[in-house]
Amino acid sequence: MTGMPVNGIDHIRFVVGNARQSAYFYRNAFGFDVIGYAGLETGMRQESGYVLRQGNIILVLTSPLRPTHQFNSRLTMHGDGVADVAFSVSDVEEAYRIALRAGAEGVRAPETIKDAHGSVDMAVVKTYGDTTHTLINRSHYTGLFMPGYQPIEPERYSARRSRETGLRDIDHIVGNVEAGQMNSWISYYENVMGFESILAFDKREIHTSTTALHSRVVRGANGSVTLPINEPASGNRRSQVDEFLYFYSGPGVQHIALTTDNIVDTVEVLRENDVSFLPVPDKYYENLEKRVGALSVEISDLKRLGIVADRDSNGCLLQTFTKPVSDRPTVFFEIIQRHGATTFGQQNFTALFEAIEKEQAARGTL
Ligand code: FE2
């Protein structure tokens, strides 16, 4: 497969209404450390930024400081959400050239930004909706994250370390696109990024009695980047993907799955920190081990914490889903622990989507 060479996910950038308060949420609820800040005090005049890190996961939270900033219209349209998934590449100019030649739309041509700590090369291309991919090389930079960002000073923003929750890596990032658009975005990742299409589910596999969706998955960068893409399929009622498209005003990132090596401990702490999870009906846990085989954790712990299990030919996985993290029913998180399984919990789709539909019904959007 050709396409530009991607090394992995560098970071995920959210545009939010109030980055300072969102940083507090991701620190105190999800256990990220707030390690860097950019804003008026660091010479950034138009926007603020907070860099959060946990394990190998880097999130950047950005808010506009002035009414003329382009992020304002984005916030009106989409609310808080993922604006950019940055891929690390070795040669930004080369990657950008290959991407454009393969059909990607450029947003920002390659540039190098510098300060006393070195340089960062970056360029930006479009993907679905108003979402972009920054192509970035930070390997010649020894400072904190990138020029403009400084370490958090306690008097400016509490640098208190968060309570560890054990989140380690980004497992996958899911996009929702409009009906009929999934295949062309899958082709985009195949042609532009050189990713491989690895799985496809049609509406016979992902449905409840009332709604359905299609999903396909691309993977690249030696398996380190996995991007499922969903589109709504015809059903009697408005599916969770339709609901997302309505409240996000178009395609965008639906959920981010984060790995842990101990999902029971992780979800225990997240729940104590007041993270809300999708409820799983008690009856799901009846005969669970008959359905998925022996598990290395107590079923009572899974039931208490709302964790579901699945098995594929390579092993098993444990997973659970938060409720949306903002008032608009849009982006949410998945917590996942893999014991060999390489798929996405296909056997749980119906149970989870029924749980989501209960939430949708409460919101009057089913
Ligand atoms: Fe997922």
> What's the DSSP call for residue 204?
T
Distance of alpha carbon 33 from alpha carbon 161, whole angstroms: 6
What is the CA(216)–ligand 1 centre distance, in A? 12
What is the CA(258)–ligand 1 centre distance, in A? 9
Distance of alpha carbon 177 from alpha carbon 288, whole angstroms: 33
| CA-to-CA dists, residue 337 to 171, 264, 357, angstroms | 9, 9, 25
At residue 236, does pLDDT exceed 80?
no
Mean pLDDT, all residues of the chain: 93
What is the CA(256)–ligand 1 centre distance, in A? 7
**Cβ contact 145:118 at 8 Å:** no
Look at residue 159 in the predicted model and tell me its pLDDT. 57
Tens digits of per-residue pLDDT, 107-134?
999 999 999 999 999 999 999 999 999 9
What is the CA(141)–ligand 1 centre distance, in A? 33
What is the CA(257)–ligand 1 centre distance, in A? 6
As a whole number, mean pLDDT of residues 198-225 equals: 87
At residue 309, does pLDDT exceed 70?
yes
What is the CA(37)–ligand 1 centre distance, in A? 30
Distance of alpha carbon 42 from alpha carbon 192, whole angstroms: 36
> Encoding tokens for residue 298?
């107590």
**Cβ contact 153:159 at 8 Å:** yes
Tens digits of per-residue pLDDT, 291-305?
899 999 999 999 999
Tens digits of per-residue pLDDT, 133-160?
999 999 999 999 999 999 886 666 665 6
Single out the residue of 154, 153, 135 nearest to residue 144, CA to CA.
153
What is the CA(263)–ligand 1 centre distance, in A? 15
Q: Domain 167-363: what homologous superfamily?
A: 2,3-Dihydroxybiphenyl 1,2-Dioxygenase, domain 1 (3.10.180.10)
Please name the residue that has the structure tokens 């969706």.
Answer: 213
Residue spans of the domains in the chain: they are 8-151, 167-363
Q: Which CATH class is domain 8-151?
A: alpha beta
CA atoms within a 13 Å half-sphere pointing along the CA-CB vector of 126 = 10
As a whole number, mean pLDDT of residues 186-198 equals: 96
- Sheet with 212-220: list strands edge to edge: 196-201, 212-220, 225-233, 167-176, 252-260, 332-339, 315-321, 308-312
Look at residue 235 in the predicted model and tell me its pLDDT. 76
What is the CA(199)–ligand 1 centre distance, in A? 13
This prediction's pTM: 0.95
What is the CA(321)–ligand 1 centre distance, in A? 8
Look at residue 1 in the predicted model and tell me its pLDDT. 54
What is the CA(228)–ligand 1 centre distance, in A? 8
What is the CA(169)–ligand 1 centre distance, in A? 13
What is the CA(211)–ligand 1 centre distance, in A? 18
In angstroms, the first-to-last Cα distance of the chain is 40
Look at residue 200 in the predicted model and tell me its pLDDT. 87
